[in-house]
A and B are shown apart, each in its own frame.
Chain A
Amino acid sequence: MLMQEWLANGKPGEEADPAGYPFGFMDEGAKREVRRSILKAVAIPGYQVPYGSREMPIARGWGTGGIQITLSLIRPDDVLKVIDQGCDGSVNAVNIKKFVKAVAGVEITTNTGAATVIQTRHRIPEEPMRADQILVLQVPYPEALREVEPSEAETRRMHAEADYSRMWLFLYEDIVRFGEISISYRYPVTVNGRYIMDPSPIPRWDVPKLNRSETLFLFGAGREKRIYAIPPHTSVEPLEFEDHTFRVEDFTGKRCARCGAEDSFLDEVIDGEAGGRLYYCSDSGYCDKRVEPCNL
């Protein structure tokens, strides 16, 4: 069964019912503040803009930063896609989708190409995105330097003065200890040659997609009250050394057990009965499209 059908099941003709809330749940003043913060974030790529994170009907840390960005940008004619670790059907993604549909009445899709706004937790879709789309990423820890410096005042000073030697020292120590940089997700990047930024917990696989992209990337951390952005065509470079360069996950010889893809980020699944390992596309929308292209 395709995710699209599954999502549509059991609720035929469901209409948006704002139940007394303004369009998009948040009041206009709140949305305007979020949009102002987004504008500032776009103007200073990679800089974390503090904003007044609102109370949302889900708990902080479950995507409230992403939801606030989505709600402040969404219009009635938008088409929304929400994914959680690449999957359109996981609980978090379905709940957010239903919520935004209820308060804004927008159309929902699992098709990356058809969406105008995509909210995501920890993945970037496999399909190349376009200039008329916006990707909203949920961020648990916006501060890339938190690993090396616990104090917020100190990390702000480090960003202000571009004093990043301790982050580089952290990578040096990693190489000395393990022979290579051992960060698997949340791989720190330099944005526009200036700020070191946390790209949210996307795998290394997705980091090159941020570089000189057609699409606007917006990052929202609701619990930590920060918004930051990568505007289109901005350079995004993973931190690397001349003799220890950045590399992505290696899936050589593995393919998706459902659609046969060899060019997508794969999740490993243990087959309980046979005891073997199976691999599936992490991006369920991409997998669906390959299985039944005519339906989408």
Chain B
Amino acid sequence: MQPVIKVRGLAKRFGAGCDRCASSTGPEAETNQCPHCGAVLACNDVSFDLFPNEALGIVGESGSGKSTLVRLLHFEWDACAGTVELARTPQLAHLPEFFTEGEAYSRNLLGLSQFQKRQVRNALMGIVYQNPYLGLRMQVSAGGNVAERLLGAGWRNIAAIRSRAAELLARTEIPVARMDEPPRNFSGGMQQRVQIAKALSNKPLILFLDEVTTGLDLSVQARVLDLIRSLREEFQLSLLVVSHDLGVINLLCHRTMVMKYGRVVEAGLTDQILQDPQHRYTQLLVASQL
């Protein structure tokens, strides 16, 4: 099987940077700030493949670079180095300029213009943030939130847009009667489900989940996770799940990467990592789980 997305050597640095940044930061140095120039390497030399219909987990403590990684892949921030390549899929058939003739993978997406990045994002990606205020427009109706990406993709028929929005909201267990209410009227769990409906509106291949269940109570967490699992099967999604909660990772993910100080310290099958952690930090993480 071919990966849908190939990421190699992804890095994000805040600050000017110097020659010694890479060697003097990371898990061995126990910092992500370069002692010589003061630059912060939020994320450095991260490489992985994401396969179709696979869930890849990323765990690590606060500040380990998990969310930075998602923001780089979702093109919200510009990466300093690295390559991101997409497999040739039917969803990208209308954007042939990203592919060299005969190649199975696209050009490096990080080199595209903002306009092209948005095209790729609209065609392939969805994101669910920890804080619904980041992912939703709270003044706009729930249906409108789902409609926004459809409108961006050129849908110009109100009836068609509304029936698609109603279908997605029903799928994520939002009462369709409330689709014209703004999400600020909703509970936290409902807001999270509206975010999921919005993320699915363009039928994405890749869904980024950034701490989706943090801040929800346990029964709501369980329902959101159940929903995500069944949607992954139904829409054949590839998930990139960022969490500091090993329970969430255990439930959702086939493979897991452990990050610390901006580097990947361990990667492998989730079961393997939880049962037999190799790196000292992973052992600490597994041992300190309640």
User: How long is the Cα–Cα vector from A216 to B140 in the complex, in angstroms?
Assistant: 38
Residue of B nearest to A240 (CB): B156
Within 8 A of A (CB), among B149-163: 149, 151-152, 156-159, 161
C-alpha spacing A166/B151, complex, angstroms: 8
Residue A162 interfacial (CB < 8 Å): yes
- Contact A173 B115, beta carbon cutoff 8 Å: no
Q: A172-B144, A172-B147, A173-B144 are in contact. Are A163 and B157 (CB under 8 A)?
A: no
- Asked if B115 and A162 sit within 8 Å, CB to CB, the answer is yes
Instruction: Check B180 for interface membership: any CB of A closer than 8 A.
Output: yes
B185 within 8 Å of A by Cβ? no
Most chain A CB inside 10 Å of its own CB: which residue of B114, B143, B151, B161: B151
**Is the beta-carbon distance between A161 and B118 smaller than 8 angstroms?**
yes
Task: Assess A175 versus B158: contact at CB under 8 Å? Given A161-B118, A162-B115.
Answer: yes
Return chain B residues, CB-CB under 8 Å to A164. 152
Which residues in A have their C-beta under 8 angstroms from that of B137? 169
Q: Which of A147-178 contact B (CB under 8 A)?
A: 157, 160-166, 168-169, 172-173, 175-177
* Interface magnitude class on chain B: 10 to 19
Interface residues of B in 83-116 (CB under 8 A from A): 114-115
User: Looking across the interface, which residue of chain A has its beta carbon closest to that of B119?
Assistant: A161
Q: Is the CB–CB distance between A169 and B114 below 8 Å?
A: no
A165 B151 Cβ-Cβ under 8 A:
yes
Q: Please report whether the interface of chain B is mostly helix, strand, loop or mixed according to DSSP.
A: helix
Q: Which of A169, A240, A242, A244 contacts B140 (CB 8 A)?
A: A169
List the B side residues contacting A242 at CB < 8 Å: 156-158
Is B161 within 8 A of A172, CB to CB?
Answer: yes
B68 within 8 A of A: no
The docked-state distance in angstroms from the alpha carbon of A168 to that of B147 is 9
Specify the chain B residue showing the minimal Cβ separation from A168. Answer: B151
- Residue of B at shortest CB range from A167? B151
Chain A residues whose C-beta falls within 8 Å of the C-beta of B158 in the assembled complex = 172, 175, 241-244
Which of A163, A172, A243 neighbours the largest number of chain B CB atoms within 10 Å of its CB?
Answer: A172
B173 CB within 8 Å of chain A: no
B78 located at the interface, meaning its Cβ lies under 8 Å from any Cβ of chain A in the complex: no
Q: Is B148 an interface residue (CB 8 A)?
A: yes
Task: Please name the residue on chain B nearest to A175 by beta carbon.
Answer: B158
Q: Are A241 and B141 in contact (CB under 8 A)?
A: no
Q: Is A173 within 8 A of B118, CB to CB? A: no
Question: Are the C-beta atoms of B156 and A169 separated by less than 8 Å?
Answer: no
For A244, give the chain B residue with the smallest CB separation.
B158
CB pair B157–A176 under 8 Å, yes or no, is no
Known: A161-B115, A176-B180. A241 touches B157 (CB 8 A): yes
Name the CB-closest residue of A to B117. Answer: A161
CA distance A163 to B115 in the complex (A): 8
- Which residue on A lies nearest to B114, using beta carbons? A161
Instruction: Verify B156–A166 contact, CB threshold 8 A.
Output: no
Contact between B147 and A163, CB atoms less than 8 A apart: no
Contacts of B140 in A (CB 8 A): 169, 173
Q: State the CA gap A175–B165 with chains docked (Å).
A: 15
Q: Using an 8 Å CB-CB cutoff, how does the interface string of B133-148 with A read, 1 for contact, 0 for none?
A: 0000100110110011
- 22 A-B residue pairings within 8 Å (CB atoms): A162-B115, A163-B115, A163-B152, A165-B148, A165-B149, A169-B140, A169-B144, A169-B148, A172-B147, A172-B161, A173-B140, A173-B144, A176-B143, A176-B180, A177-B180, A241-B156, A241-B157, A241-B158, A242-B157, A242-B158, A243-B158, A243-B159
Q: State the 4 A-B residue pairs at the shortest beta-carbon distance, nearest first.
A: A165-B152, A168-B151, A242-B157, A161-B115
Which A residues contact B (CB, under 8 angstroms)? 157, 160-166, 168-169, 172-173, 175-177, 240-244
If A161-B114, A164-B152, A172-B144 are given as contacts, then 20 extra A-B residue pairs at C-beta distance below 8 Å, sorted by A number, are A157-B114, A160-B115, A161-B115, A162-B115, A163-B115, A165-B149, A168-B152, A169-B137, A169-B140, A169-B147, A169-B148, A172-B158, A173-B140, A173-B141, A173-B144, A175-B158, A176-B144, A242-B157, A243-B157, A243-B158
